[in-house]
């Protein structure tokens, strides 16, 4: 076991294209039972989903794999 290395969750997030410097933020959100939504789709589909989520008052961040 390597101490101080990435958690399995962190490694999974990185493998999906989430930048390493933002992984702790998402891990904390998941551990505090907040939702993280990961979407895959065309540029148009993602833009529509982003607009819907923002209009509902949610924080939206976009990362490319």
CA distances from 18 to 12, 24, 54, 57, 60 (A): 9, 11, 20, 22, 13
Show me where the domains of the chain are located.
Answer: 8-55
Q: Which two tokens stand for residue 40?
A: 């895959």
Predicted pLDDT at 4: 53
Predicted pLDDT at 2: 46
pLDDT of residue 56 exceeding 90, the answer is yes
Predicted pLDDT at 6: 66
Q: How confident is the model at residue 1 (pLDDT cuts 50, 70, 90)?
A: very low
Q: What tens digit of pLDDT does each residue of 10-41 get?
A: 888 888 888 888 888 888 888 898 888 888 88
User: Does residue 10 contact residue 23 with C-beta atoms inside 8 Å?
Assistant: yes
Indicate the DSSP class of residue 21.
Answer: G
């Amino acid at each position: 076991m390597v101490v101080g290395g990435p958690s399995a969750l962190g490694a999974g997030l990185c493998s999906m294209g989430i930048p390493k410097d933002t992984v702790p933020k998402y891990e904390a959100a998941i551990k505090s039972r907040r939702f993280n939504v990961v979407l895959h789709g065309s540029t148009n589909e993602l833009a529509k989903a982003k607009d819907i989520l923002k209009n509902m008052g949610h924080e939206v961040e976009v990362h490319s794999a």
